[in-house]
Amino acid sequence: MTNTLPSLKNHKMEKYRKPDKFYTDRYDRFTIQELKMLEAKESTELQEVTDSHDRCKIEIQHCMDFKSFKNTAISRARNREATIREWMTADEHQDRLVATHPLPTNITCDSCGAPMRFCLHFFDVESIPLLFVFECPASHAPRKVIYPNGREFFFPWPTCGQCGYEVTRESYKENDVLYTTTTCPMCGSVKNDELNLNAIQRPELPVTEDDRQKYCLSFFNGRTFYEDLEALANLFDSIEEEQKEQLLKEHYEVDKIEKLTIPALENRLQKAIESTGFIKFFFAQPEMKTWAVVPFNIQDPTDRNDKKSIKAATICIQQSLYLTNWRLVGGIDYRLGCLTGKLKAYEREEDLIKLAKDIKESKK
């Protein structure tokens, strides 16, 4: 078993939350890389196809494939803001955890007794929000993983993928490669792993503004093939609805409903009301909101009682308005010979159809 470890970069002083550009670049860099790859793949697929039918088939396949260039571009664009925000929030959360938990002290190496130095944080290991990793300055293995309260944390012993029994591990280092052999004493399975300790991290490519514009920012309002299909289906539906409405209008003879303006309504009711023995019919200020509603006042100079007076006014108004787009709403109130109520206008096609239907059915 090897007893020295490769040195890890000391992250102690670095903040996890980076400037905003770091996150947008990270997101856009991946988008650009992914889309350039898909763009090249799709153009290769079309390159040697000259027959227009065959080209069309391939293009349709590209449209329908969720992982095609266009669909990927749209989905990356739509998720961009939320993902970047999520990354920032996660890093800010890590900084808060670090700021509120001081570095454990007096951690010493089990091999040489030297004070160990902090090398990195672990977050959310086995549901533990924060752990500190320490290494021996002389690189003695193993590193120690410490809880914020100074207690040592031990990873659960690895188990065999085949039988679940605890496995044993042996490692050795050669030419900067860490070779690990995992053996199960129960079923005898053996697994070999190699870890290149000097793996060269690929340098992160800078994001050019042209690429960002082309691959990341121009797809925000794009529509996928399936959304186009849906829009088309909705269009058909609305045409059908319109046709249905037209048929209903014809069937119920909506055009025969008289659409009265407020002055015409006032004029008509005045005559009808006054011929029923009432006087001083007038409209108050109309309420013009979703519905047009007009309050009215009438006086009854006769010696009818309230019930008779209300009944006479109601019948008179209902009959006068029956073939129009106006209706009495709520009841009529009576007090000291003064009657008040409200009239409402129906203007929307669907409401007119309903009125026309009632009229037609009442004639049966």
Is 162 a binding residue for Zn ion by CB under 5 A? The answer is: yes
When binding is defined by CB under 5 A, the residue of 163, 177, 264, 315 that contacts Zn ion is 163
For 113-124, b/e burial (b = at least 16 CB within 10 A) is: eeebebbbbeee
4 binds Zn ion (CB under 5 A): no
d(CA 342, CA 331): 8
**Which residue number, 103 or 138, has a Cβ lying nearer to Zn ion?**
138
Radius of gyration of the chain (CA): 40
Q: Which is nearer to Zn ion, 77 or 109 (CB)?
A: 109
Among 111, 171, 181, 314, contact with Zn ion (rule: CB under 5 A): 111
Q: Which of residues 278-317 bind Zn ion (CB under 5 A)?
A: none
Rounded least distance, CB 112 to Zn ion, Å: 3
> What's the token pair of residue 278?
């009432």
Residues 6+ apart with CB under 8 A from 90: none
Q: Count residues contacting Zn ion (CB under 5 A)?
A: 13
**Rounded-to-integer distance, Cα 95 and Cα 90, Å:** 9
- Asked if 112 interacts with Zn ion (CB under 5 A), we say yes
Query: Minimum distance from CB of 141 to Zn ion (Å)?
Result: 9
Q: What is the DSSP string of 55-111?
A: HHHHHHHHHH-TTSHHHHHHHHHHHHHHHHHHHHHHHHHHHHHHHHSPPP---B-TT
Q: Does 160 bind Zn ion (CB under 5 A)?
A: yes
Other Cβ atoms less than 10 A from the Cβ of 86: the count is 12
- Note whether 5 binds Zn ion by CB under 5 A: no
**Contact status: 182 vs Zn ion (CB under 5 A):** no
Contact code string over 118-147 relative to Zn ion, x by CB under 5 A = ------------------x-x-x-------
3 part of the interface to Zn ion, by CB under 5 A: no
Which uninterrupted H or E stretch holds 360? helix 349-363
Residue 161 beta carbon to Zn ion: minimum distance, rounded to whole angstroms: 8
Q: Please report, as ranges, the residues that interact with Zn ion according to CB under 5 A.
A: 109, 111-112, 136, 138, 140, 160, 162-163, 165, 184, 186-187
